[in-house]
Structure 1
């Protein structure tokens, strides 16, 4: 159980939960744990996932912001009162994540004090991450954004030229049970504003009954919003077992040479799946699959479209996404951020009209029905006698 000591100084004792992938760590992280991550340039999605766990202390083996681009994660965590620390680079060693996972530790006086499972006592100095430090790095990253953008564009165009032939070819044919032709398709990725956008499109989904495709963790996003995915597409590194066993048809995205790290997980769960070797990202593959299965319209939620989106994913270009979106053309509608376009507002005038609409049938009944009119007159007399 976590504990705090020393008024005015942050002291925290708890079990460490550690993982090399933040999104996997969040599946088992709880509010009373210390999170140990190795995540350079923590993005907003990772920060939101950490906040959802309620964790109050996070130690990072990498810089929260390198200055390469203005990453949002550290600012978001600090704004919510989470205590952030970095371990000095010269103290980071291979296997440290595995050694510290599951052991109890104390953060005190900017030190991480640990007693490992082997009985070894470690005292490692920590660097407290403050809003002032993050804001300084933020300004530096913003100032150098033009240089970063130039490199990003060069990388994108270079790879687009090399990979265009791969995307001109059709995907390997799959015998899907889910019918897609002439239907609307919604592709959900767990990207920025995916929750709000799903909520905004609730009426559209209810009316059109589109095919719902969750890209890895996007399947969990659909279930959290109250939907069941029809298809799950991805390498299966961030989707939960619950989503995989929801009854959705599974398409395992493999590398072009057929390697699929997610195969062992699906085999272990005993789930049937389609293997789809293809270049690009899993969200690219999901859109291409819907396109080649002759979807009438493809709506995307939470997909990665900007330079910052791709840098947060650790990709230095967006060649595959550029080629896929160009190929699909007008069938593709990007609903990312649609919640910011319009929010319905209630007004007193609207409430007045609603009240009038409710009272009108009652008034009509009183005028037309003699029994109702007589009852209303009696109630009126009784009220006058009681009131006066």
Structure 2
């Protein structure tokens, strides 16, 4: 009882953020083991956007990084996303934390210090919105060198994957028809669920082919849609979502190894592999382009200059750049589509306004007792305006 009381006080009565430690030097392996309420303990210089998005999606309560989260080489996006999500970030605590903190230990984070109960196990720099903003200003000085490296990587990627990018060789065949249809690609980027909700009218009107990428597939399913195509690592996608998808495409390494394929086989779901060094988002876009989509609308897919330079796209940055060149004018951001759809006045609204005006006219004529001649004129006017409105808004 005394030990139980001590643990209770240690875990709940002391100040700070408390969670169960999940420890791994490799961020990719760590992300697969995270659960809501965990504290992620990793060793990653320059936390990238993709890692941060995965940490936020896993609902961790804190992040402890053995290395600097912003090294100053370039303005990486991960730390900013974590702080915006309200997740404490303590970095540069040293690699010994990976040895001293055992997986499953209950940790407490407070003012840049990592505690196990009341015992200090590591100390580092707790990041804030202000400290990240200052570091990002300094990091912009490193963008020139990153641009040079990006150019070299692009040339190397094109040398390896030119048949795929230029001619579509290697894109898997699908049963879902895409030719001359619009395709909506939903990836797990920031605010992608909000963006998807804004496109409800667009989806209802145009019935695009729905492609879910990684956690974007779960977002589609949770919103009440059946994904036509799912592209991504099955280990990071819900079972119900995988079973609901009409087709599943599993990205594979260039040597043919496809992570997550065993899970697909265990679930008894048919899938095809897509060997490439590109990321899942780019593979989804290449699939849509190769199968003749007339327009590709993206949700949660960001590809500004900062995203290109972000280390999370390392090795696949060139694929992102070249893929967008390949699709050209077919590629449209979902935010733009939602904005244009909201600004358009629907035919139904116009028709209701015309109907209300005509009914008011008919009522006035009937009350005045002028006669049926004016009623016929009003009806003819209503028909004329209705035909004109249909021609204008069709």
Q: TM-score range by the shorter chain?
A: 0.7 to 0.9
Checking the alignment, whether the CA contact within 8 Å between 1:84 and 1:129 is kept in structure 2 is: yes
1:106 aligns to what? 108
> C-alpha separation between the residues in 2 aligned to 1:162 and 1:173?
15
2:35 aligns to what? 29
The structure with more helix, counted as a fraction of residues: 2
> C-alpha separation between the residues in 2 aligned to 1:213 and 1:12?
38
> C-alpha separation between the residues in 2 aligned to 1:130 and 1:220?
31
2:73 aligns to what? 68
Q: 1:259 Cα deviation (Å)?
A: 1.5
Q: 1:232 Cα deviation (Å)?
A: 0.5
Q: CA RMSD in A?
A: 3.9
Equivalent residues in 2 for 1:275-286 (5 A)?
A: 275-286=273-284
> C-alpha separation between the residues in 2 aligned to 1:52 and 1:259?
26
> Measured at CA, do residues 18 and 359 of structure 1 come closer, stay the same or move farther in structure 2, by a change above 3 Å?
farther
> Measured at CA, do residues 18 and 226 of structure 1 come closer, stay the same or move farther in structure 2, by a change above 3 Å?
farther
> Measured at CA, do residues 210 and 344 of structure 1 come closer, stay the same or move farther in structure 2, by a change above 3 Å?
closer
SS of the aligned residue for 2:174 comes to coil
Q: 1:136 Cα deviation (Å)?
A: 2.9
> Measured at CA, do residues 76 and 327 of structure 1 come closer, stay the same or move farther in structure 2, by a change above 3 Å?
closer
> C-alpha separation between the residues in 1 aligned to 2:216 and 2:29?
13
Segments of 5+ residues of structure 2 without an aligned counterpart are 1-7, 344-348, 369-394
Q: 1:21 Cα deviation (Å)?
A: 3.8
Checking the alignment, whether the CA contact within 8 Å between 2:171 and 2:286 is kept in structure 1 is: no
2:247 aligns to what? 249
Q: 1:141 Cα deviation (Å)?
A: 0.5
SS of the aligned residue for 1:190 comes to coil
Checking the alignment, whether the CA contact within 8 Å between 1:23 and 1:238 is kept in structure 2 is: no
Q: Cα deviations across residues 272-331 of structure 1 (Å, max 9, x unaligned)?
A: 21223344222232222222322233223333423422424241563323433334444x
Q: 1:260 Cα deviation (Å)?
A: 1.0
1:176 aligns to what? 174
1:382 aligns to what? none
> Measured at CA, do residues 302 and 78 of structure 1 come closer, stay the same or move farther in structure 2, by a change above 3 Å?
closer
> C-alpha separation between the residues in 1 aligned to 2:41 and 2:98?
14
Checking the alignment, whether the CA contact within 8 Å between 2:97 and 2:121 is kept in structure 1 is: no
Q: Cα deviations across residues 338-385 of structure 1 (Å, max 9, x unaligned)?
A: 27956958xxxxx9xx99986985795587489xxxxxxxxxxxxxxx
2:322 aligns to what? 323
1:78 is aligned, of 75, 83, 98, to 83
Checking the alignment, whether the CA contact within 8 Å between 1:185 and 1:299 is kept in structure 2 is: yes
Checking the alignment, whether the CA contact within 8 Å between 1:181 and 1:295 is kept in structure 2 is: yes
Answering whether residue 20 of structure 2 is matched by residue 15 of structure 1, we say yes
> C-alpha separation between the residues in 2 aligned to 1:306 and 1:293?
26
1:229 aligns to what? 227
2:152 is aligned, of 144, 154, 158, to 154
Segments of 5+ residues of structure 1 without an aligned counterpart are 116-120, 346-350, 371-388
Checking the alignment, whether the CA contact within 8 Å between 1:236 and 1:262 is kept in structure 2 is: yes
1:294 is aligned, of 287, 292, 295, to 292
> C-alpha separation between the residues in 2 aligned to 1:187 and 1:102?
37
> Measured at CA, do residues 318 and 130 of structure 1 come closer, stay the same or move farther in structure 2, by a change above 3 Å?
closer
Q: TM-score, normalised by structure 2?
A: 0.72
**Number of equivalences:** 351
Checking the alignment, whether the CA contact within 8 Å between 1:235 and 1:252 is kept in structure 2 is: yes
